[in-house]
Amino acid sequence: MQTKLKSRAAEHVNGDRLLDLFLELAKLNAPSTKEQQVADYLIKALPELGFTLEFDEAHKNFNGEVGNLFAWHEGSDPTIPPLFFSTHMDTVLPTEGLNPVIKDGVIHSDGTTILGADDRAALAAYLEAVRAIIEGGIPHGPIEFILTVNEQPGLVGATYMDYSKAKSKTGYIFDSSGDVGQIILKGPYSSRIWIEVQGNSSHIALNSEEGNSAILIAAEGLSNMKLGEIEEGTLANIGIINGGELTSIIPGSVTLAGEVRSFSEEKLNAQLKHMEEVMHQAALKKGAKVNVRTEKKYLGFEIPKDDILVKTVWRAAENIVVKPYLTETLGGADTNVLNENGLTCLTLGLGFQNIHSFRECISIENLHNTGRLTAALIEQWYINHRE
Q: How many CB atoms lie within 10 A of CB 169?
A: 14
Residue of 335, 63, 62 whose CA lies nearest to 182 = 335
Catalytic residue among 56, 90, 175, 379: 90
Q: Is 144 a catalytic residue?
A: no
Amino acid making up residue 272:
L
Residue 156 to residues 60, 93, 105, 236, 337, Cα–Cα distance (Å): 12, 16, 34, 21, 9
Burial environment of residue 116 by CB neighbours within 10 A (0 to 12, 13 to 18, 19 or more)? buried
Strand partners, 143: 73, 83
Ramachandran assignment for 351, one of left (phi > 0), alpha (psi -120 to 50 degrees), beta (any other): left
3-class DSSP assignment, residue 362:
strand
Local structure of 178: helix, strand or coil: coil
Is residue 20 annotated as a catalytic residue, yes or no? no
DSSP code at position 91: B
Find the catalytic residue in 56, 118, 128, 151.
Answer: 151
Distance of CA 372 to the CA centre of its chain: 21
Q: At what angle do helices 364-386 and 117-136 cross, to 10 degrees?
A: 50
Residues with catalytic function: 90, 151
